[in-house]
Structure 1
Amino acid sequence: MADRPQRTVRDLRRANRTAVLERLYSDGPLSRQELGPATGLSSGSVSNVVAELAEDGLLEEAGVVESAGGRPRTLLRVAPSSGRLIGVDIGETRVRVGLFDVAMDELARCDLPLAHHGHEVHLIVRHVADGIAAVLRESGTAPGRLLGVGVGVPGILERGGPGGAVVHGQTVGWDAVPLEGLLRDAVGLPAAVGFFLSNGAKALGQAEMWFGGGRGAKDAIIVLVGSGVGACLVTDGVIDGGARDSAGEWGHLTVSVRGRRCRCGARGCLEAYAGAEALLQRWREAGGRPPAGADEETALTALIAAAHPPDGNAAADPVARSVLDETAEYLGAGISDLINLFSPERVLIGGWAGLQLGPHLLSAVRTYATAYSLAHPAGRVTIGLGTLGPDAVTVGAATLPLADFFANGGRRTAPVRTPGERAAAPGGHTAPAGRRRGG
């Protein structure tokens, strides 16, 4: 039997710092007296850790509360100004870069469209570098203040190589792209600032679990519907992760044998029926006419308006309505597969296209998902929309370096390290609901 590694005093101190930071972030503000039972630490340990963290600038006072028969108690919270975080969403139609403080208040944003150039690797890397430079410049943030850069990417990640994470993005033409190394070289941030890459659906899932519609759920699935589709699986509060980050490829389950050609090259994938790109193609084939020269988001808006005219007196286009009805059935059937396989308590639909389609399709999606599912798992699940809006992937990406920072006791790790992901808020507890976002 292998010997179990011995925990050093340094390991214990880091674990104690992590426990206090995570609990304050999840449930704060809290007093020193509340932190003891909440973390399992003695009052002496709490006092020592709080003093250390305050000296490091990571904690601040957040008011005073009266106590029964005693002196008023000072509340503590993680200081929003204790660092800066960048989240990057490499999406299908744009690269979005956001700068946040530790409380996830958005301080600056930059959107760079991809409409005419696709996902050429050099262009993506340049967009990310330009976006990071733009948000730092706009906010006046020194690069050394960054705790890290989180990046949501399309496709499967393979971790553990000397140059960092490698991306296999078959639908966008990426074959073993050493994206982490390319970004590190192009962006030129200080060596202590790490890059943390994740599948985009997982970044969306982490955001919804920390701050959005997934709060309080232990077993959940967060679905991303954009040009394609993906899903994030959360089991007992933890996102499925590991060296090969592939759980987001739900869109490439076969739903129709010898069916429509998917952009991955296979036939009959769910993405070939439920993704926005395929949905718009089916509308054109059925005689629909998106606005000339419109990008994907504008064209989808036009399709929805044709099927559900905003003017209540206008007649709905039966072709557009039929395409959306069929999409709801495929999406519901795909969700039923997830329900039957994983028996989640909650399914959330997000992504830019999912949020556009949701108000019009959600009722039908629920009906079809229930009809195609086994009765027992269908009876315990709720299906709803994500609550964080179209920038949820950016928010989720920014939480990746923050989670790593907390896990290391409020200190940066070596920049080449890429951690496993955690969906629940730090420590597996509910994250604070009061996140604010700038324009």
Structure 2
Amino acid sequence: MNAVGVDVGGTKIAAGVVSPEGEVLAAVRYPTPRSPDKLVETMVRAINEVGSGKDVAGVCLAVPGFVLAQKDTVVFSPNLPAIEGIPLKERVGPEVGFPLTIENDASAAAWGEFRFGSGSGVDDLVFLTLGTGIGGGVISHRALLRGAQGSGGELGHVTVHATGPRCACGNRGCLEALASGTAIGRRAREAAVENPGSALGRLAARRGLLGEDVTELAREGDGVALSVLEETGRWLGIGLAGFVNVFNPEVVAVGGGAMEAGDLILASARREIRLRARPPSRDLVEVKEATLGPESGVLGAAALARNTDGAYALGG
């Protein structure tokens, strides 16, 4: 049967009805409200809008932050504080009329890549998404790693530099603070000040820098922009080498907006993995760009939706 996947992000709420084969049959998108009540109202509206009149077995709500599965709540969400503490199943479930599952958004995206994207055909996958922050998910022996409380797989908040920059979570030196889109922007601004004669420096003097500016200038050969992305990839690779050692995946898939830079980031990440990961894991793993783009969250959430018998609506 079909299922509804809902990807709740810091800026948008995307919902879609997805077929068992991974085809999005209907979709809606709304801006993310900043108040808890409006947030619940918008999630309910999105689910009911796409699910109305469809053959739907269940709904999965993929939410940002640390999920406490026993209470179906988010206990900490640095990029969407409004969602913290809301009893999601209690508030949303009765309003939608479908069985409801709650999942971390990056874990849902990882499941999407595993089922329908770059991880299809393998049993063990590590997925990272590089955006405003860094989310992650781990598939081990074809099962999603959730941990004892449902908060497992928070790969973006692994410390890779003990005295590094402050992360949105309050820690210092998280992978998120060093390899996310936000980190690229910070590093680019610093590099522009240090190198005012570079193309990056000249652009920064005219207007604010965007992540896509760094990628575009790097592709045009600006050495300073290239160094910004290479350093980002180095920190990413340091984190990934640890994940390769711990999880022994067949594939590491990296997605998110920052991956518009592609191998400008991944080339140095792969070098760090070769230097720091240990055989045999190092010799097995393949580092790929994720293939589903922004649809990974909706597709993965739909594939994790449960029907009333507790089975996955789109298969396990």
Structure 2 residue 205 is matched with structure 1 residue 301: no
Q: Which residue of 1 aligns with 2:143?
A: 238
Instruction: Report how far residue 353 of structure 1 moved.
Output: 2.9
Task: Summarize the Cα distance change of 1:359–1:97 in structure 2 as closer, same or farther, 3 Å threshold.
Answer: farther
Counterpart in 1 of 2:7?
Answer: 89
- The one-letter code of the counterpart of 2:189 is R
Deviations 1:221-257 (A, max 9, x none): 1222221112211221111125512223111111111
Tell whether 2:105 aligns with 1:200: yes
1:396 Cα deviation (Å)?
0.4
Amino acid of the residue matched to residue 339 of structure 1?
V
After superposition, what is the alpha-carbon deviation per residue over 1:127-172, rounded to whole angstroms, capped at 9, x for unaligned?
3233234435xxxx426x32111121111222234xxx11123423
- Following superposition, the deviation at residue 378 of structure 1 comes to 0.7
Are residues 1:158 and 2:68 paired?
yes
Distance change >3 Å, CA 291–CA 390, structure 1 → 2: farther
Equivalence map 1:164-179=2 (5 Å): 165-172=72-79, 173=81, 174-179=83-88
Aligned partner letter, 1:212? G
Write out per-residue CA displacement over residues 364-390 of structure 1, whole angstroms, 9 at most, x where no aligned residue.
221121112123321111111122222
CA positional deviation for 1:359: 4.1
**2:56: which partner in 1?**
146
Q: Work out the CA distance in 1 between the residues paired with 2:181 and 2:206.
A: 15
SS in 2 for 1:375: coil
Q: Which amino acid aligns with 2:247?
A: F
Shift of 1:347: 1.1
Q: Is the 8 A contact 1:290 1:303 kept in 2?
A: no
Residue 120 of structure 1 and its aligned partner are, at CA, apart by: 4.0
Q: Give the whole-Å Cα distance in 1 for the aligned partners of 2:157 and 2:165.
A: 12
Give the whole-Å Cα distance in 2 for the aligned partners of 1:254 and 1:243.
21
Query: 36, 52, 62: which is aligned to 1:121?
Result: 36
- Cα drift, residue 100 of structure 1: 2.2
Match of 1:256 among 161, 164, 178: 161
d(CA) in 2 for partners of 1:293 and 1:371? 36
Name the CA shift for 1:92/1:371 in 2 (closer, same or farther; >3 Å): farther
Give, in angstroms, the shift of residue 421 of structure 1. Answer: 8.1
In structure 2, stretches of 5+ residues that fail to align are 193-199
Quick one: structure 1 residues 184 and 94, their matched pair in 2 at CA, closer, same or farther if it must change by over 3 Å? same
Q: 1:344 to 1:101 in 2, by over 3 A?
A: closer
Taking the aligned partners of 2:235 and 2:206, their CA distance within structure 1 comes to: 25
Alignment of 1:33-432 (within 5 A): 83-114=1-32, 120-136=35-51, 141-142=52-53, 145-161=55-71, 165-172=72-79, 173=81, 174-184=83-93, 188-190=95-97, 193-242=98-147, 244-287=149-192, 289=204, 299-309=210-220, 316-354=221-259, 356-401=260-305, 404-405=306-307, 412-413=308-309, 426=315
Structure whose CA Rg is larger: 1
State the shift of 1:399 in Å: 0.8
- The answer as to whether partners of 2:106 and 2:137 remain within 8 angstroms in 1 is yes
Give distance in 1, aligned partners of 2:212 and 2:311: 37
**2: CA distance between counterparts of 1:123 and 1:384?**
38
With over 3 angstroms needed to count, the CA separation of the structure-2 counterparts of 1:178 and 1:353, relative to structure 1, is farther
**Structure 2 match to 1:312:** none
Query: Residue 84 and residue 228 in structure 1: after superposition, are their counterparts in 2 closer, same or farther (change >3 A)?
Result: same
Distance in 2 separating the partners of 1:105 and 1:303: 34
SS of equivalent to 1:103 = coil
Structure 1: tracts of 5 or more residues without a match: 1-82, 310-315, 406-411, 414-418, 428-439
SS in 2 for 1:177: coil
SS at match of 2:27: strand
| Conserved? CA contact 2:145–2:153, under 8 Å | no
CA pair 265-307 structure 1, distance change in 2 beyond 3 A? same
1:148-206 deviations in Å (ceiling 9; x for gaps): 11121111222234xxx111234233543322323235xx222xx11111111211121
Residue type of the partner of 2:93? R
CA positional deviation for 1:103:
3.1
Residue 275 of structure 2 aligns with an amino acid whose one-letter code is: A
Give SS of 2:96's match. Answer: coil
Q: Secondary structure at the match of 2:182?
A: helix
Three-state SS of the structure 2 residue aligned to 1:361 is: helix
The alpha-carbon deviation at position 293 of structure 1 amounts to: 8.2
What is the alpha-carbon distance in structure 2 between the residues aligned to residue 263 and residue 349 of structure 1?
21
Q: TM-score, normalised by structure 2?
A: 0.86
* TM-score (norm: length of structure 1): 0.63
Residue type at the aligned position of 1:94: K
